[in-house]
Amino acid sequence: MRISASFTVSDIQKFKERLLLWAQQFEEIVWLDSNGHTGKYNSFDALLAVDALTTIKTDSDKAFDKLREFQEQAKDYIFGYLSYDLKNDIERLSSKNNDGLGFSDLFFFQPKKIIKITGNTVYFEYLLMVDDEVQSDFELISNETKIEEEAVTENIKIKLRVFKDEYFRQVRKMLSHIHRGDIYEANFCQEFYAEDTQINPFKTYQKLNKISEAPFASYLRVYDRYLLSASPERYLRKDGPKLISQPIKGTAKRAENAEEDERLIEALKNDPKERAENIMIVDLVRNDLSKSALKGSVGVEELCEVYTFEQVHQMISTVVAHVAVDVNPVDVIRQSFPMGSMTGAPKVSAMKIIEELEAFKRGLYSGAVGYFTPEGNFDFNVVIRSILYNATQKYVSYSVGGAITAKAIPEKEYEECLLKAKAMREVLEG
């Protein structure tokens, strides 16, 4: 049982900053920020969940069964993440690559405190056991909040998990699989990392968010592990009987000159390679959603639309479907996970080849962060354009990738990776 209270705030931007600062006292945090993007399927400007009453933390073994049980028992909001390596629960796959971060494969918690921002109104939804703290928390957040400065590493040295020549070799191997007909497309990723490095997660996220202003930004803390994400991509949303997936495939750089920027948008819109990549993934997503959708309900609302963000232009499609009223929300995710944009086609073959050719365990990268509602709705992003941090191990990581198709040129794919990595590198190296 939750109580609700609302307050009107004049300077909402300042309140948002103080709210996330106030949240740093808790060991379990999920912060979701749309950064002013007003998409058709947005339901809030920002959402914070903190302070676990109950939790579930597991490896991939029977993970979705355990999550389903936890979600059904909670009958409440639960927030958390799904790592890419839950693929091993769905298919006969494994993850044996190097893992410097050590996130569990799945983590969710039932928060005692949820705070939602819509326009200039702030809604507090607290469990009854903490409902007497609403007023004092609002006052505390509204006033200047100070947190202790954390030790940080100066002059962070970013290392490459694979060097350029090795990247080219692995892409050529991927291409040989494509030319042989094993797969049509696969998302190939590489990791950049720093060891013996301490960052201030709150300030690092602020910097990343400021230069990216992404519509599916998230800040996650699970004890000593952090995700600082400037994700532009929605994985999957369930709103009543409707499912919405918005895969991204196709990236172009921004230009300072407006005329040149417009030219880059048009070039992306009409690029046959980028459109082919996007359409392949749309077909994959349609197939994934059809596993749980009502017959004949899967459709495409937008195909290859170009959206502009602070750092890049992106080609996005919107795939929708309808499900039966009594469908279990965890089962819907199980039948479409991991998301098509981060795997390939055919999906299982692509994931096997990805595991062979990549040099790191993806973990939370290319997984999803989000929440379930008491009514069985949910919304999850795709964990890309993100910095991951293990504070105990002093290990910082960010990964980037791109779709490899028959027409891929290794040098151009590498350039696209560096473009996607630009914001994370700037934030860490200064």
| Residues with catalytic roles | 233, 249
CA trace torsion 77, 81, 85, 91 (10° rounding): 20
Query: CA-CA distance, 293 to 24, in Å (whole number)?
Result: 40
Cβ neighbours, 10 Å, residue 357? 19
DSSP string, 284-338: HHHHHHHTTSPTT--EEEEEEEEEE-SSEEEEEEEEEEE--TT--HHHHHHTTPS
The count of residues in the chain is 430
For residue 163, the 8-state DSSP code is -
Of the chain, the end-to-end C-alpha distance in Å amounts to: 46
| Token duo for residue 398 | 């960010």
| Token duo for residue 232 | 């532009």
| Token duo for residue 250 | 């196709």
Residues 6+ apart with CB under 8 A from 120: 8, 9, 10, 12
Do 373 and 77 meet the contact criterion of CB atoms below 8 Å apart? Answer: yes
Query: CA-CA distance, 145 to 135, in Å (whole number)?
Result: 16
CA distances from 332 to 32, 241, 397 (A): 22, 11, 30
Q: Which residue has the tokens 């803390």?
A: 221
Q: Which residue has the tokens 């990805």?
A: 354
